[in-house]
Amino acid sequence: MNEYACALIIDHGRLLLGRRAPYRKSYASKWDLIGGRIETGETQLEALTRELQEEIAIIPQTPAYFDSLPDPHVAPQEPPLYHFFRVETWSGTPCINNHEHTELAWVPLSRAGTWPDLALQEYSDLFRRLAAFYSVP
């Protein structure tokens, strides 16, 4: 099974999303969370740290597990599993650092679940639960 570590990057009631590049194999031009595949021998947190450095040039400080979801849309027979971590502090300034995303957006947490063009429809519920965790109406 393929597993992924993904960041729920939160700053002042906002969630950071990245628009996937139009040539990406899965979810091209859709809004997604920053993260990537957990490589052989890596822990979830090691993969999260590596991916955030590679993709948006930040190093997370004390990420905290939030939830996991399978993605039946990519491979229904063997769906990848996404592990989500809250990231509230980091070093560096988020910026596009490689070819995976074409833009970044800070989305109000109260609107993240209804943001257009999300990569996964399941994000709507995940983002609503995240907003509830932070007591955002």
Mean pLDDT (whole number) for 107-116: 96
- DSSP-based helix, strand, coil % in the chain, nearest 5: 20, 35, 40
Predicted TM-score of the model (pTM) = 0.96
pLDDT at position 63 over 90:
yes
- Set out the domains of the chain in order of their start, with CATH numbers: 3-133 (3.90.79.10)
Q: Which two tokens stand for residue 50?
A: 């590596």
Residue type, 20: R
The CA distance from 53 to 72, in Å, is 28
The CA distance from 70 to 81, in Å, is 4
- The torsion region of residue 38 among left (phi > 0), alpha (psi -120 to 50) and beta comes to beta
pLDDT at position 76 over 80:
no
